[in-house]
Amino acid sequence: MNELILPAIISCIIAFFSVYVMMPPLIKYLGKKNLAVRDIHKKGEVMVVRPGGPALIVGVIASEIVLYGFLQLNEILAIILTTSIAFLVGYIDDRKVMGGWFKPIGLAVAALPIIFLGAYDSDLAFPLFGEVQIPILYLAIIIFMIVITGNTVNSIDVANGIASGFMVIASFTLSCALFILENYEVAIVSLPLGFISLAFYKYHKIPSKIFPGDSGALTLGAMYGAIAIVGEVEVIAAVALLPAVLNSFLFLATVKKIVDHRELNEKPVELTKDFKLRATKNKHARISLVRLIVAKTALSEKEVAIVIFKLALFSAFLAIITTFMMEFKI
């Protein structure tokens, strides 16, 4: 354990500062190239640049390569490759809006390095009940996991600071779970994700100076999923991600097909005159987490973010309970 402290500190510093330092020049560059979109929750024509994904992937690769230098684990290579492919998928979608099929298929391809590098254990562990051996079925779970985590993190990117703030809570929870389960090496490999999200949150929080774009959201989501698989904490990871899973579930339950949200005309929330968010009265609009949050009262963007962070903290608490339940068998 002691020999892991130095790599952990170095990789976390690199993860945080590479994103923190890279972001201002990236914002300037994207602004010059006019790669900006309107912030629809703000008064007037407020334009925000995107995507922040390139800085995030630099942070991931730099910190994880340093860790690979120290630990030389196949799991680290799998995380780097999976996250990089997910970034590319998102970046293509940022530059040229693709159909609803593109991201799920792209993320399924991103999961392949985990399989080819053998960076997984095919036993799926559940709290209280133990493990189940599913050697072939587990391959499908790997692909499913990366597709789900990538898309759910992307779907929670609904307002300023929410995706990055949510990922700070979820990823540090996952690291805590790995430490509790004494899976120290993967715990240290997972720490950079929290620090990358934290550094990005500084620029993404209200009022956003940059949006993550699909490249940023898929980078964070795919890395989270890859860590869950190589760390054998799939169920705990799913619990920590519950608010985002709930948001995706509500989307699918009302839309009833896999489609990009940009292809839907009816918006689930609308703006009041004082720029608060309120639920739309349009019965054909999809149900979303934010629509439920503002169903009774109109809330400001910041207030909505606080409610989502409270939900994230609650799911983090449930994830830690789930971690302790892993130690017990009925």
Partner 1 sequence: MIHGQLFGFMFLMWILIIIGGGITVTILGPISISGFGELDSFLSSASKGLIAIILSVIWILVLNKMKNLIFRKTFSN
- Interface with partner 1 (CB under 8 A): 124, 126-137, 140, 235, 238-239, 242-243, 245-246, 249-250, 253, 287, 289, 292-293, 295-296, 307, 310-311, 314-315, 318, 322, 325, 330
**Do 82 and 113 form a contact (C-beta atoms < 8 A)?**
yes
- Cα separation of 104 and 82, whole Å? 14
What 3-state DSSP class applies to 299?
A: strand
Apex 130 CA angle, 124 and 133, nearest 5: 40
Residues 6+ apart with CB under 8 A from 320: 173, 176, 177, 180
Between 109 and 287, name the residue whose CB sits nearer to partner 1: 287
Which parts of 33-180 fold into alpha helices (H)?
Answer: 53-71, 74-95, 102-110, 112-116, 137-155, 162-180
In the complex, minimum distance from the CB of residue 162 to partner 1, in angstroms, rounded to a whole number:
15
Between 1 and 136, name the residue whose CB sits nearer to partner 1: 136
In the complex, minimum distance from the CB of residue 320 to partner 1, in angstroms, rounded to a whole number:
12
In the complex, minimum distance from the CB of residue 317 to partner 1, in angstroms, rounded to a whole number:
10
Number of continuous H segments (helices) and E segments (strands) in the chain: 13, 6
Residues 6+ apart with CB under 8 A from 156: 162, 163, 166, 243, 244, 247, 289, 308
Between 55 and 319, name the residue whose CB sits nearer to partner 1: 319
Between 116 and 314, name the residue whose CB sits nearer to partner 1: 314
Between 52 and 243, name the residue whose CB sits nearer to partner 1: 243
In the complex, minimum distance from the CB of residue 249 to partner 1, in angstroms, rounded to a whole number:
7
In the complex, minimum distance from the CB of residue 321 to partner 1, in angstroms, rounded to a whole number:
9
